């Protein structure tokens, strides 16, 4: 009885036999052929080798697995330190290894993880949109156009650059396009 849908848990751990009742090994995992993803394979661990067998060659599944007569027994050569060891994560190979010898290692050129850009944010006046000035001595933000103090939301505040010297918030001077520290009285490159 061949089940229509084979779950990993229903076959992993079962002993696999050839059609002439020769013990092959124990099913340890499933694999997917990257070149042909519909080709799902069993990984069968024998005494000293591992086999890759396409699931389509399963003749019967019960307490054991019986393979069809013409089952190709491809050996999985992953346990040996292979030539391309540098591209294969050896520690996880046993559980996630795809199929076979000739599988092209998919590109491992992983980009360095980029931090979400921490672009400095210019705190602006909610009324007129002008860049606000931070006065360290008052600890407040001032709109030079509206001539009044205003609040800056914390989300914006988190991304306002600070002076490397005194640690106070910098103020963006729009006409120069630069950040200025009113405490230190100097421009700061951000
Ligand atoms: Zn304003
Ligand atoms: Zn400063």
Render each residue's pLDDT in the chain as its tens digit; 190 residues: 555 777 888 888 999 988 888 888 999 988 887 888 888 888 989 888 888 888 888 888 888 888 888 888 888 765 444 444 444 454 444 454 455 555 555 555 555 555 555 689 999 999 999 999 999 999 999 999 999 999 999 999 999 999 999 999 999 999 999 999 999 999 999 9
Q: How far is CA 173 from the centre of its chain?
A: 40
Query: What values do phi and psi take at 34, rounded to 5?
Result: -65, -30
- Would you say 183 and 136 are in contact if contact means Cβ atoms under 8 Å apart? yes
* Residue 124 CA to ligand 1 centre (angstroms): 8
Q: What is the pLDDT of residue 111?
A: 59
The pLDDT, as a whole number, for residue 31 is 82
Q: Which ligand is nearest to the CA of 183?
A: 2
Assign domain 8-78 to its CATH architecture: Roll (2.30)
Q: How far apart are the first and last CA of the chain?
A: 70
- Where are the CATH 2.30.30.240 domain residues in the chain? 8-78
Q: Tell me, in angstroms, the distance from the centre of ligand 1 to residue 150's CA.
A: 8
The alpha carbon of 135 and the centre of ligand 2 are apart by a number of angstroms equal to 11
Q: How many CA atoms lie within 13 A of 97 on its CB side?
A: 26
Residue-wise burial string across 82-103, b where 16 or more C-beta atoms lie within 10 A, e elsewhere: eeeeeebeeeeeeeebbbbeeb
* Res 78: pLDDT: 59
Question: How far is residue 124's CA from residue 131's CA, in Å, rounded to a whole number?
Answer: 4
For residue 177, the CA-to-ligand 2 centroid distance in Å is: 17
Report the run of H or E that residue 157 belongs to, with start and end. Answer: helix 154-157
């Amino acid at each position: 009885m061949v089940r229509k849908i084979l779950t990993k848990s229903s076959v992993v751990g079962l002993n696999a036999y050839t059609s002439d009742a020769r013990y092959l090994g124990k099913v340890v995992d499933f694999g997917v052929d990257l070149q042909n993803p519909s080709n799902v394979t069993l990984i069968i661990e024998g005494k000293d080798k591992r086999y890759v067998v396409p699931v389509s060659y399963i003749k019967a599944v019960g307490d054991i697995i019986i393979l069809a007569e013409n089952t190709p027994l491809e050996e999985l050569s992953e346990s040996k330190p292979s030539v391309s060891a540098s591209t294969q994560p050896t520690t996880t190979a046993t559980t996630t290894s795809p199929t076979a010898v000739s599988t092209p290692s998919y590109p491992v050129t992983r980009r360095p993880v980029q931090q979400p850009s921490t672009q400095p944010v210019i705190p602006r006046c909610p009324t007129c949109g002008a860049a606000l000035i931070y006065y360290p001595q008052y600890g407040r933000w001032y709109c030079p156009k509206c001539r009044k103090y205003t609040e800056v939301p914390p989300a914006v505040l988190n991304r306002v650059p600070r002076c490397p010297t005194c640690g106070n918030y910098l103020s963006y001077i729009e006409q120069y396009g630069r950040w200025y520290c009113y405490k230190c009285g100097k421009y700061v490159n951000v």
